[in-house]
Amino acid sequence: MCGIVGAVGCRQLRSYLIDGLKTLEYRGYDSSGLAFSHEEAPLIYRIPGRVHLLEEMVPLSLEAGIGIGHTRWATHGAPTETNAHPHISHSGLFTLVHNGVIDNYRALHQMLSDLGYQFNTETDTEVIANLIEHNYKQMGDVLKALRQSMKMLEGSYALVIIHQGDDERLFFAKNHSPLLIGHGPDANFLASDYLPMLKHVKDFYALTDHQFGYISKDEVAVFDLPGNSKAKISYHQTDLTSEDINLEGYPHYMLKEIEEADNVIRHLIDNYHDGRNYLFNPKLLDTITASDQLIFLACGTSYHACLIGKRYLEALGKRVDVYIASEWAYYPVITGKNPLFIIVSQSGETADLIHCVKNIKQYKFPLLTITNTKGSTLDREANFTLLLFAGIEIAVASTKAYVAQVTLLALLAAALKGDSQLIPDLYHVIEALKKVIDMKSKFEKIADFLATKENAFYLGRGFDYDVSLEASLKLKEITYIHSEGLPGGELKHGPIALIDKDTPVIIFVSDSLTALPIRSNLQEVLARGAHVIVISSQSLAKGKDAIVVPDVPVHLSVLPKVMVAQYLAYYTALKRGANIDKPRNLAKSVTVE
């Protein structure tokens, strides 16, 4: 959530900032803004709304040497023009954009108000602007003021700052929220993600916590807190390309990413199996084997993937616990003497997980990060990292990342077990996914019915219950239909009271062990007038089942089943006229708690 861009020396600064913000729209936002350096005062453009509306406000003829931009996902204050970034300090000395949340902003607000500083917004960001101005007036040096301000701020922040009167330098500071430098021969750039800078530079530096400094046209200066020591900069490159964000003829990123699932599985096989052996770090496998407790921490879709991973690793005799990160961060539970923590995050920048890492570091227990983003905060903090190799995921609702997470956890479990059968089984899954893609006309027909409803239920048992949770989340996220995922046996312990005429109840049938009881649950809801939609595996199918998918091993059945659920959510949202790739109130990368 929220996005930052900035540059010094860029020949087409207006285009870079606007196009850069457009590449960050997938992160989720509700207002946007730009600021350009100018002789008397910065030129500021802000709007509650999308970047294309902001673009219309900015003159094509505008020229400046320094500029910053921001997409804001509201935390403090409503998404209004006044609260939109960039924000300017009391006397106009500093203009800045900010990602993150300042925990002690109320105390700082009061302190600055008592000193005569006036505030025009409801944001914690304006507090930062005034704090830097206050410290600058005391010290007379921007870097000293910035360093002092960082010592006073509590919370998360990525800051990019214009100092009025300095036409050569753009300042920055970073703590917990991601911020990258892009280094070029004739210009330097800042952004909260690689995407805005891909067309301009090849060399990147990921700032670490408590770093600050400035970029100019020809220079990059980074300093570490505490003190004023100059940091050693080691640039790296990324496998991402600007082509990764193209729609390639698809109407929506979500549909494109659903249909990339088969390639995701292939890439994982290629990266973690050489045709004969698994390619996991032997030290990681030894650490898992030696651990007496495996603790998964994740949020949202990643949490649902961890529930599948729990089953895989428990089947090997391991003790496994799965926690929602935002809960464990405040109520940590560790009962093993030699645990391994496994953190799963598509972005690698999830704030709740970063909070968890602080707790883990205190205990000095080993940490494995599973992420799609090399060089992310959670990657850098880990003892071990397993990359998902899923390619960038633009749509806010995660699809192929879930497939990647489940597949990687299956590969990891197979490596621990020495199970070579998984590889042909995964190729079997790939073929099943291709057949699911060919069923789109059936999904559209079901979506015609779902689109008219405001409530729905998903039922399953075992692996099918786990995929019901993810299926329900997808429907909620992009259609705004209220939905629940339930274990089939729990239906009669309360939720069946919500079933009435034509209530959609979607049932997964993948396991012969529970096929009979889940179909008994089917009869229970039919008797209450529900509209039942059965999604079954071929060998367990009955004549009236709505969707029948090819058989795959039960422990991999979630992969074709979740694709069906993703399609149903997609087509239902399409028929309801929802903003599929950018659903309301949601963000792709949740960088605040």
DSSP 8-state code for residue 240: -
- Asked if 27 contacts 588 with a C-beta cutoff of 8 angstroms, the reply is yes
Q: Give the number of other CB atoms < 10 A from CB of residue 362.
A: 9
Task: Report the amino acid identity of residue 281.
Answer: N
DSSP 8-state code for residue 208: P
* Cα 129 to chain centroid, rounded: 28
3-state secondary structure of 226: coil
Q: Which residues are catalytic?
A: 2, 588
- 332/281 Cα distance (integer angstroms): 28
Which residue bears the tokens 């703590």? 175
Query: And the tokens for 529?
Result: 């007038």
- Asked if 68 contacts 34 with a C-beta cutoff of 8 angstroms, the reply is yes
Which residue bears the tokens 């008592």? 114
3-state secondary structure of 515: helix
Question: DSSP string spanning 59-95?
Answer: -TT---SEEEEEEE--SSS-S-TTTSSPEE-TTSSEE
- Asked if 436 contacts 560 with a C-beta cutoff of 8 angstroms, the reply is yes
261-272 vs 400-417: helix crossing angle, rounded to 10: 30
Phi, psi (rounded to 5 degrees) for 208: -100, 170
Task: Report the amino acid identity of residue 268.
Answer: L
3-state secondary structure of 166: coil
Phi, psi (rounded to 5 degrees) for 8: -130, 130
- 45/33 Cα distance (integer angstroms): 5
3-state secondary structure of 585: coil
3-state secondary structure of 130: helix
- Asked if 516 contacts 536 with a C-beta cutoff of 8 angstroms, the reply is no
DSSP 8-state code for residue 424: H
- Asked if 71 contacts 32 with a C-beta cutoff of 8 angstroms, the reply is yes
3-state secondary structure of 275: coil
Beta pairing partners, 371: 345, 387
